Amino acid sequence: MDRRSFIAGSASLAAGTQITPLFAQGAPVELSFFYPVAVGGAITKLIDAYAEGFNKENPTIKVTPVYAGTYQETLVKVLTAHKSGAPPALSVQLSSDMFTLIDEEAIAPIDGFVKTDDDKAWLKGFFPAFMANSQTGGKVWGVPFQRSTIVLFWNKDLFKEAGLDPEKAPANWAEHTAFAEKLTKRDASGAVTQWGVQIPSTGFSYWLLQALAIEAGDELADSAGLHTFFDKQGVQDALQYWVDLGQKQKVHPPGVVEWGTTPKDFFEGKAAMMWTTTGNLTNVRNNAKFPFGVAMLPADKRRGSPTGGGNFNISKKASPAQQEAAFRFVKWVTQPERAAQWSIDTGYVAVSPAAYKTKAMTDYAASFPAATVARDQLEFAVAELSTHENQRVTKALTDNVQAALLGTKPVAAALKEAQAEADRILKSYR
């Protein structure tokens, strides 16, 4: 008996003793639900409230939400539990990890639970841009939940100070550079006290690069997750533009910019514009002490942003009763009214057009027009980079993007190396 089967054996023994009573008459079906938090704000409270509300309406089911850390940590926890035989029945994972989860046989297709006409109508109700990362091989594997696009936030006070129109965001790359130049302030010794723009490059640097690449007219990967195009001209132009902002125009901090502290830099007035997920919208609204604007990302050849964020996934190894219960919870949470409220509370994009027609949402959008920017950008959105062995492929890209931003590798060489590494990893899947 090797170590893995030993662990699996003892875990299934433990799980078995827990699960058996669930099938007894009258006892509620219990399931745990792992979810990550990737933005500021009180997300855990909202999720706890959902579970409580659902459990009250459905006394035969008991959903226990478990906060599992970042997206990466949640994936690690869920896959570890999966390999030991007792995974949580429901989890929220990056939509881009779909292929990884399928390859590990960790998730069950959603189609299997869609039975009634009502179910079918519900599944068709999501924005097509979000479904692009949720289905492959003719099956639906994930249900959109905390989904986002990248948007540009700008500080209206600093725009005014710099002599710019505070109501007008940069529409294209040239304007974006010109604005950033005006917004960068230096003291007498030449040290920068305020940066024009910040595009974070830790953690999600592949995602930000993808936005620039789409705008420059190229995609990073095919939809089957088998081929990447990291060394195409558009991707090179994109990375070059980003590198130049820091090294040539010097309107963006040099080196690598931390994802987590970028909103804080914006609140402190150290960065006049920032690119980040729309999931930070409510965080910014609560913490920015100045009027701010939200805009679609500036265009080069076209407008564009990758979608991002998390989908609901149902575990393949959970019991049928748990899977069914998980499906009902997912359907309940993504109803238009709740999706609208979730979007209002966080800033994530509500996942269905119907949610934007609810009264709560139309009222909110009327008082806070920024709330619909990310939705409007969906028209130009492209599926987030997603391949087999996604974490490994994105690391190859992330490392090389960072090397280019640090100035240790020329742009073309960095992207060529990332492409070679991705080819090596994906070869065995083709």
Partner 1 sequence: MIRPASRALTAWLLLAPAMTFLFVFTHWPALASLMESFMSTARPRRPSRFVGMDNYQQALSDPVFWKSLTNNLWFALGTIPASIALALLMAIWVNDRLPGRTFARMAYFTPTILPMIAVANIWLFFFTPQYGLIEQIASALGLPSHNWLGSGDTALGAVIMVAIWKEAGFFMIFYLAALQAISPVLAEAANLEGASRWTYFRRVQFPLLMPTTLFVLINAVINAFRMVDHIIVMTRGGPDNATALLMFYIYQVGFNFWDTAYAAALTTILIVMLALIALLQYGWLERRVHYQ
Binding site for partner 1 (CB under 8 A): 2-3, 72, 75-76, 79-80, 100, 103-105, 189, 191-193, 201-203, 253-258, 261, 264-265, 268, 270, 389, 391-392, 395, 398-400, 402-403, 405-406, 408
The C-alpha atoms of residue 131 and residue 353 are separated, in whole angstroms, by 13
Residue 149 phi, psi dihedral angles, 5° rounding: -135, 170
Of the two residues 100 and 352, which places its CB atom closer to partner 1 in the complex? 100
Of the two residues 237 and 389, which places its CB atom closer to partner 1 in the complex? 389
Beta strands in 100-175 (DSSP E): 135-136, 139-140, 143-155
DSSP state of 198: E
Of the two residues 125 and 203, which places its CB atom closer to partner 1 in the complex? 203
Give least dist CB 268 to partner 1, A: 6
Give least dist CB 336 to partner 1, A: 36
Of the two residues 103 and 167, which places its CB atom closer to partner 1 in the complex? 103
Give least dist CB 425 to partner 1, A: 9
- The CB density around residue 51, as the number of other CB atoms within 10 Å, is 17
Maximum pairwise Cα distance, the chain: 77
Of the two residues 14 and 27, which places its CB atom closer to partner 1 in the complex? 14
Give least dist CB 297 to partner 1, A: 22
Give least dist CB 24 to partner 1, A: 32
The C-alpha atoms of residue 327 and residue 340 are separated, in whole angstroms, by 20
Beta strands in 49-142 (DSSP E): 61-67, 90-94, 135-136, 139-140
Which strand (E) or helix (H) includes residue 382?
Answer: strand 381-382
Tokens of residue 105, six digits: 């046989």
Residues in the chain: 430
Of the two residues 349 and 405, which places its CB atom closer to partner 1 in the complex? 405
Measured over the CA atoms of residue 94, residue 298, residue 344 and residue 285, the dihedral's sign is positive
Give least dist CB 362 to partner 1, A: 39
Of the two residues 74 and 305, which places its CB atom closer to partner 1 in the complex? 74
The owner of tokens 């150290």 is 270
The owner of tokens 């920032």 is 274
Q: Which of 10, 1, 21 is nearest to 86 (CA)?
A: 10
Residue type, 14: A
Give least dist CB 299 to partner 1, A: 28
Of the two residues 84 and 343, which places its CB atom closer to partner 1 in the complex? 84
Give least dist CB 173 to partner 1, A: 23
Task: Give Cα 127 to chain centroid, integer Å.
Answer: 15
Of the two residues 177 and 400, which places its CB atom closer to partner 1 in the complex? 400
The C-alpha atoms of residue 170 and residue 66 are separated, in whole angstroms, by 41
Of the two residues 144 and 263, which places its CB atom closer to partner 1 in the complex? 263
- The CB density around residue 360, as the number of other CB atoms within 10 Å, is 15
Q: DSSP 3-state assignment of 197?
A: strand
Give least dist CB 340 to partner 1, A: 34
On whether the CB atoms of residues 259 and 71 are closer than 8 A, the answer is no
What angle, 0 to 180 degrees and rounded to 10, lies between the N-to-C axes of helices 411-426 and 390-406?
170
Q: DSSP 3-state assignment of 269?
A: coil
Give least dist CB 102 to partner 1, A: 9
Beta strands in 156-191 (DSSP E): 185-186
Of the two residues 58 and 202, which places its CB atom closer to partner 1 in the complex? 202
What angle, 0 to 180 degrees and rounded to 10, lies between the N-to-C axes of helices 320-333 and 43-57?
110
Give least dist CB 206 to partner 1, A: 12
